[in-house]
Copies of this chain bind each other. A is one copy, B any other.
Amino acid sequence: MKELQWEKAAGNGLLNRRHLLQLGLTGLGAAGASAAFGQDAGAILQIPEWSRMPGANASAYGERSRYAGDLQRMAGTPDPIYPGGGSSRTPLQFLQGTITPNALHFERHHAGIPDIDPAGHTLVINGLVRQPLAFSYENLLKYPMVSRINFLECSGNSGALLRGGNADGTAQSLHGLLSCAEWTGVPLSTLLDEAGVSPEARWVAAVGADAASMGRSVPIEKALDDVLVALYQNGEPIRPGQGYPVRLFCPGWEGNISVKWLTQLKLMREPAQFRDETSKYTDTMPDRSSLQFTFPMGVKSLITSPSGRMNLPRPGIYQVTGVAWSGHGAIRRVEVSADGGATWAEAEMQAEPGDKALARFTIPWEWSGGPAVLQSRAADSAGNVQPVRDEVLAARGTISFYHNNCIQSWGVDDGGAISNVYV
């Protein structure tokens, strides 16, 4: 590797993107790797076995490579006293870009995944409307749809870290209640228009067809703004674990309010005060008062690689990458620190960030072999900046653990081992 003039972007090894990584092996001369240029082939590199014989035929349903690692969600152990309760977490540290494949999208269930035959499923709109309506799945499919790429995050995501526990985890185990997909469905406003919302209606109480009758109340302003009655996820019908056949989707808001297996929308003067907006999903403050209906997920970011339980094999250049998102708009900027927040460098975005969508950032970093603390800090189009942990603790304490959007820290020890740390 030749000597390079790298431009430093911030302390402890963060580099400007505009340098040469020079990770290619040199000394090849004019030799090639393939059989296509006969005279070059084999001079240095062997023709591998898989290039010598035809491979498998095209199939009806594509599979993943057996060499691509164990891309699985992390699902909790079933609890017999809470049947069907639990979650599964997205393996963020193995993904790139912003879309989450449907089979890896996080889930949170309160009574398991109902096996719904759409022919027997109905969506009712009633309450304070001119005319109550019942929609079959077949008829919902006939309405004009819109598509949006949006993140979804459980309000309990990263919650344990507010309390200071669970340090020995991965990006998946600590922060994996976060995913992003293209959602397609009928604007809720279209269906509400047909039912005719009464002037006194201020809330839409949404109920799922699971055995928990999971319910949440949506303010009418949001319901008439960008909420979808979602039918497709990343192009295909929503999967059972995501709410098949019909899911309410509330862009940018805590995941729980995007009610799965949607079967009723009741227009009301007041919120319904469902169990999942009183005993749960409500933020209890240090003075024991409760903040209710804190819907939008705050601006937040997470370094997904390198991250918890990874090991840096040797000093050298690493690409620091992660995701950023905000329930208040689009990501405008992500900064990265390698010295625990003492100095910051602006990361590159891998694509133009979308509204209420995951955004992917990247910045090269030269690990010296000494201790380091990697952090990321996001800012959004509404002017919000991701807070440090102490700010969140001071404002909200640790009785509740929802809505933790604080800056998260990965500690790198001098052996290259990485773990969550509190700084």
Report if A381 contacts B (CB, 8 A). Answer: no
- A residues contacting the other copy or chain, number (CB 8 A): 147
Indicate if the CB atoms of B125 and A239 lie closer than 8 Å. Answer: no
- A290 to B180: give the CA distance in the assembly, Å: 45
B211 and A126 within 8 A (CB)? no
A25-54 interface code vs B (CB 8 A; 1 in, 0 out): 110111111111100100011001011111
Expressed in whole angstroms, the minimum distance between the Cβ of A75 and any Cβ of chain B is 4
- Asked if A134 and B55 sit within 8 Å, CB to CB, the answer is no
Q: Is the CB of B211 within 8 A of A52?
A: yes
Q: Determine the residue in chain B with the shortest Cβ distance to A75.
A: B58
Tell whether, in the assembled complex, residue B319 and residue A142 are in contact, meaning their CB atoms are under 8 Å apart: yes
Contact bitstring A75-98, B, C-beta under 8 A = 1, else 0: 110100001101110000011111
Chain B residues, CB < 8 A from A143:
21, 23, 319
Within 8 A of B (CB), among A118-172: 118-127, 131-136, 139-148
Quick check: is A386 within 8 A (CB to CB) of the other chain? Answer: no
A241 at the interface (CB under 8 A from B): yes
Bound Cα distance from A50 to B212, whole angstroms: 11
Binding site for B on A (CB under 8 A): 17, 20-26, 28-37, 40, 44-45, 48, 50-69, 71-76, 78, 83-84, 86-88, 94-105, 107-109, 111-127, 131-136, 139-148, 181-184, 191, 193-195, 205, 207-213, 215, 231-232, 234-237, 239-242, 244-245, 263-264, 266, 272, 274, 317-319, 321, 348, 350-351, 360, 362-364
